[in-house]
Amino acid sequence: MRDIRVASVQFEHVAGDKQANLAKIESFVRQAAAQNVEIIVFPECCITGYLFLRRLSREQVQALAEPVPHGPSARALVALAAERHMTIGAGLVEMADDGKMYNTYVVAMPNGELQRHRKIHCFINEHLSCGCDHTVFDTPHDCRVAVLTCYDNNLGENVRIAALKGAEILLAPHQTGGCKTPSPHCMGVVEKSLWENRKENPRAIEAELKGAKGRQWLLTWLPARSHDNGLFLIFSNGVGIDGDEVRTGNATILDPYGRILEETWKADDDMVVADLDARLRDNCTGVRWIKTRRPELYGPLAVPTGQEEDLRRVRFGSDL
């Protein structure tokens, strides 16, 4: 890996309006190009929109879905990546050749290559399937990158596998924060009125974005993912209205020690930029810990306990 400049974007998408969302992506890419950014990360499902998917029928999801890599949105990202000499990641709903649909994150690279990650833990809509692959690949920027989408990052096993597959940078696109949750000390709903009045009273909404429903929750686990695995981590998230919830943004870039290089809690679309110092990985804690693993002891990690729950069945109450 060499030193590289990266960016993380938070923005409020328009549900179902792919052209409007792609226009916003293009605007941020132009801004990033002016700052010599080489990798830019946009949120999960930011091209199609996210939370509104939960109420769509199969036919409605099919109307929104596109093939990858030959669909119009993927082609637009590839063209933009080549034009701006930048690797660009953004999320959408994919229609696969076999008719299955996925929450997919597309990574378009300036050499014309494209990678995709199908969310492993997908539960937003019963008509979307879960992916089964850990996505790790080389880039033209002399670095090896992994992608894990939102809930994929919550399970430490996924991040560790990415590191074991040689990842140096983890792209972590999300739509999170401000979520309804059964956990009494985890996230919670942000009142829409605070977002709607953000211009008149920015302190009130920023307190929520920085508090237990946003930044404070993220800091209970996100730095551990980068620290324990020796990864630079680029966290991108939606912000603002997403269905009947308010996303908390908090776009953040962390180093392999779990330290925050750049972050924002702005109650608006925003971008943070940071230079990744490749030397930080040379002897960082996570890299050292991985070298001292004893894999012969870890067999129980892959043995079902009987307590496993299928997120899709929990959410939709049916056999899928």
Domains of the chain: 4-299 (3.60.110.10)
Q: Is the confidence at residue 315, as pLDDT, over 90? A: no
Q: Residue 24: phi, psi to the nearest 5?
A: -65, -40
State in Å, rounded, how far the first CA of the chain is from the last one: 41
Q: Is the confidence at residue 317, as pLDDT, over 60? A: no
Please give the model's pTM, rounded to 2 decimal places.
0.96
Q: What count of Cα atoms within 13 Å lies in the side-chain half-sphere of residue 129?
A: 14
pLDDT computed for residue 318 by the predictor: 45
Q: How far apart are CA 160 and CA 262, in angstroms?
A: 23
Q: Give 265-283 pLDDT, tens digit per residue.
A: 999 999 999 999 999 999 9
Q: What proportion of the chain, given as a percentage, has pLDDT over 90? A: 93
Q: Is the confidence at residue 103, as pLDDT, over 80? A: yes
pLDDT computed for residue 271 by the predictor: 98
Q: Give 212-268 pLDDT, tens digit per residue.
A: 999 999 999 999 999 999 999 999 999 999 999 999 999 999 999 999 999 999 999
Q: Residue 310's CB: how many other CB atoms inside 10 A?
A: 13
What residue type is assigned to position 38 of the chain? E
Confidence of residue 310 (pLDDT cuts 50, 70, 90): confident
pLDDT computed for residue 319 by the predictor: 42
Q: Give 42-71 pLDDT, tens digit per residue.
A: 999 999 999 999 999 999 999 999 999 999
pLDDT computed for residue 134 by the predictor: 98
